[in-house]
């Protein structure tokens, strides 16, 4: 074969097959893109996010895309660390908006780097600047924010859980802000997105890999607790409350075991100290535990703060002293479960059918005496707390920051709710709640002010049109309980209006859903009579045989608040013959 004719002596039909030899191949660098699975299989990836179709179409599990290696800084700043410009700085003034300061020194160098504008970058920065600060509510724990940001930057499982939650929260706000009253159930879609679910599942895989690796067992436990905390937040926001309650139960069980182990044996974990991290975890799980107790039937709060590290004032006047709003909130949260148990126990006691508790029996009177002593002790503790709380606020009421003012209003609202239930705890029927009308009126004013302040998160800032999401036990449970028991037409309608006017999520509670359930009870009790709305009929026109005694809704009756689907809410009413009947009502939540 001559040098002038590199193509072999073949027929014209096959000449085209060797045409590529006429010119040298142009140089191009080997592509480094593609998912991990396609790279292992040595095939071309279609680069579909969050997982490629070449894997999913063949039944394979896509392991995602490798993280880009750190590049030299460019003049146009095309790459950015996940936290630098939107990180929360605990050294900033309390009322300075999040996202305006540099990265906290405690975070050090971040492990994960994304190109600016990528889905991961947007999700994790939204989590740092919006989601994480909101979760702590009025008690903005700077140390907890720093701890979560530290671990979300350095631990893969926590990082992917944070990306999932940030992505879901961002998507949730976009959906809520853009929807109208007529399209809240667009396409009947569940409240989730594929990108968030992908990182949710990826966090599970990374957590399992981390646990299977040899290492400090206490470290694995703390990381698992953090992931479980973020998963509980994720499923609460997604409306998957059964799964959220499972995560919470598992987390509380693991937390209890870990606290005992650390207290007994200590740990080798150095950054941050395991004792401080365990205290922070306990406080956050306590908020979730309290929220679940107000929402789920047969859930009793289990998480208590460590008495050795938390100041415990002596109960009972005049030695009952509170030194800070945070301590006031902690102490009152210990009292709320006792009020709830008293209410539930009293209901079971008054309606007991056992022969041992029949009215007039010896066992009945002995049980009643115990209950009266317990109630008297509770009333004394609640009133002692109120006096100490008022003393705390007297000199500092004009100097409180916006967040402290919200916390003070929230505690006052909870006090009114507890007091109203203690007031009627000795009564046998729903008519007794009419005596608590003064409490209900004060609560409406507090709830309305609290809802407005929640929408203006910083001192002097404009109201935020976006619905809030937090884990604290805020205004919704209190407003819901009062809205169900208050039969005054005007006060009850104002409660419903406040809950709807300021959409808000508090763990499992959704303000709009709570308003719809209250409205369902109001329609049953008023019978659709327009005279109630016009003010021609009053609270006395709703007789005992027309009143709702209890309401069953939530996980045991199906999901709510996630897709706008109608849910069966069961209302229990007392009939004229004294019998109780269940009335199912389909309500869009």
Give the pLDDT of residue 398.
Answer: 62
For the ranges 258-272, 309-323, 373-387, the one whose mean pLDDT is highest: 373-387
Distance CA 288, CA 301 (A): 9
Give the pLDDT of residue 392.
Answer: 85
Closest by CA position to 143, among listed 186, 181, 171, 106: 106
Whether 315 has a pLDDT exceeding 90, the answer reads: no
Per the CB < 8 A criterion, the answer to whether 351 and 359 are in contact is no
Could you give the count of Cα atoms lying within 13 Å of 239 in the half-sphere of its Cβ?
A: 18
Distance CA 58, CA 12 (A): 41
Residue ranges per domain, the chain? 79-295, 400-539
Joined tokens for residue 100: 């305006």
- Angle separating helix axes 511-526 and 489-501, nearest 10 degrees: 160
Per-residue pLDDT tens digits for 427-441: 767 888 999 999 999
Q: Fill in the DSSP letter of residue 21.
A: G
Give the pLDDT of residue 68.
Answer: 44
Of the pLDDT bands very low, low, confident and very high (cuts 50, 70, 90), residue 179 is low
Distances (CA, A) of 448 to 390, 443, 518: 21, 8, 17
Distance CA 546, CA 107 (A): 59
Whether 95 has a pLDDT exceeding 50, the answer reads: no
Distance CA 340, CA 199 (A): 38
Pairing of strands 113-115, 468-470: unpaired
Peptide bond into 222 cis (omega under 30): no
pTM of full prediction above 0.75: no
Quickly list H helices, 394-430: 402-423
Of the pLDDT bands very low, low, confident and very high (cuts 50, 70, 90), residue 462 is very low
Give the pLDDT of residue 86.
Answer: 34
Q: What is the mean predicted confidence (pLDDT) over 80-91?
A: 35
């Amino acid at each position: 074969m001559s040098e002038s004719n590199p193509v072999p002596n073949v027929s014209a039909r096959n000449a085209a097959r060797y045409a590529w030899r006429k010119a040298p191949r142009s140089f191009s660098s080997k592509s480094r893109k593609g998912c991990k699975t396609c790279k292992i299989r040595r095939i071309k990836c279609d680069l579909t996010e969050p997982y490629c179709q070449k894997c999913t179409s063949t039944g394979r599990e896509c392991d995602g895309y490798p993280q880009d290696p750190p590049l030299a800084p460019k003049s146009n700043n095309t790459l950015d660390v996940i936290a630098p410009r939107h990180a929360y700085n605990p050294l900033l003034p309390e009322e300075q908006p999040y996202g305006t300061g540099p990265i906290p020194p405690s975070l050090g160098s971040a492990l994960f780097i994304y190109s600016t504008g990528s889905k991961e970058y947007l999700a994790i920065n939204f989590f740092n600047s919006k989601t994480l600060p909101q979760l702590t509510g009025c008690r903005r724990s700077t140390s907890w924010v720093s701890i979560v940001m530290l671990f979300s930057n350095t631990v893969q499982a926590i990082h992917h859980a944070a990306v999932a939650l940030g992505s879901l929260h961002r998507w949730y706000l976009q959906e809520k802000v853009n929807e109208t009253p007529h399209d809240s159930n667009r396409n009947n879609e569940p409240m989730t997105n594929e990108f968030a679910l992908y990182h949710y599942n990826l966090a599970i895989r990374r957590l399992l890999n981390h646990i299977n690796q040899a290492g400090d067992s206490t470290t694995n436990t703390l990381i698992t607790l953090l992931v479980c905390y973020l998963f509980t937040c994720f499923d609460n926001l997604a409306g998957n409350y059964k799964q959220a309650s499972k995560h919470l139960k598992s987390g509380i069980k693991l937390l209890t075991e870990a606290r005992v182990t650390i207290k007994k044996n200590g740990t080798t974990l150095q950054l941050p100290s395991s004792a401080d991290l365990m205290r922070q975890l306990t406080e956050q799980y306590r908020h979730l535990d309290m929220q679940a107790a107000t929402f789920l039937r047969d859930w009793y709060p289990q998480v208590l703060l460590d008495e050795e590290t938390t100041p415990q004032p002596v109960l009972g006047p005049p030695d009952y002293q509170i030194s800070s709003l945070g301590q006031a909130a902690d102490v009152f949260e210990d009292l709320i479960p006792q009020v709830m148990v008293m209410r539930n126990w009293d209901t079971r006691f008054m309606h007991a059918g056992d022969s041992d508790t029949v009215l007039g029996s010896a066992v009945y009177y002995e049980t009643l005496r115990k209950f009266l002593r317990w109630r008297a002790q509770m009333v004394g503790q609640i009133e002692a707390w109120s006096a100490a709380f008022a003393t705390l606020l007297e000199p500092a009421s004009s100097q409180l920051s916006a967040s402290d003012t919200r916390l003070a209003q929230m505690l006052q609202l909870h006090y009114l709710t507890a007091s109203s239930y203690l007031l009627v705890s000795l009564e046998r029927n729903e008519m007794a709640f009419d005596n608590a009308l003064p409490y209900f009126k004060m609560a409406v004013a507090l709830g309305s002010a609290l809802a407005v302040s929640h929408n203006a998160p910083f001192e002097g800032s404009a109201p935020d049109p976006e619905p809030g999401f937090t884990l604290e036990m805020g205004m919704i449970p209190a407003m819901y309980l009062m809205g169900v028991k208050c039969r005054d037409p005007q006060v009850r309608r104002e409660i419903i209006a406040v809950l709807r006017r300021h959409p808000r999520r508090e763990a499992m509670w959704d303000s709009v859903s709570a308003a719809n359930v209250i409205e369902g009870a109001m329609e049953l009790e008023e019978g659709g009579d327009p005279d109630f709305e016009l003010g021609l009929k009053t609270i006395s026109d709703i007789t005992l045989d027309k009143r709702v005694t209890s309401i069953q809704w939530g996980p045991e009756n199906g999901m709510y608040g996630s897709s706008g689907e109608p849910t069966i809410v069961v209302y229990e009413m007392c009939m004229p013959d004294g019998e109780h009947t269940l009335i199912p009502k389909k309500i869009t939540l």
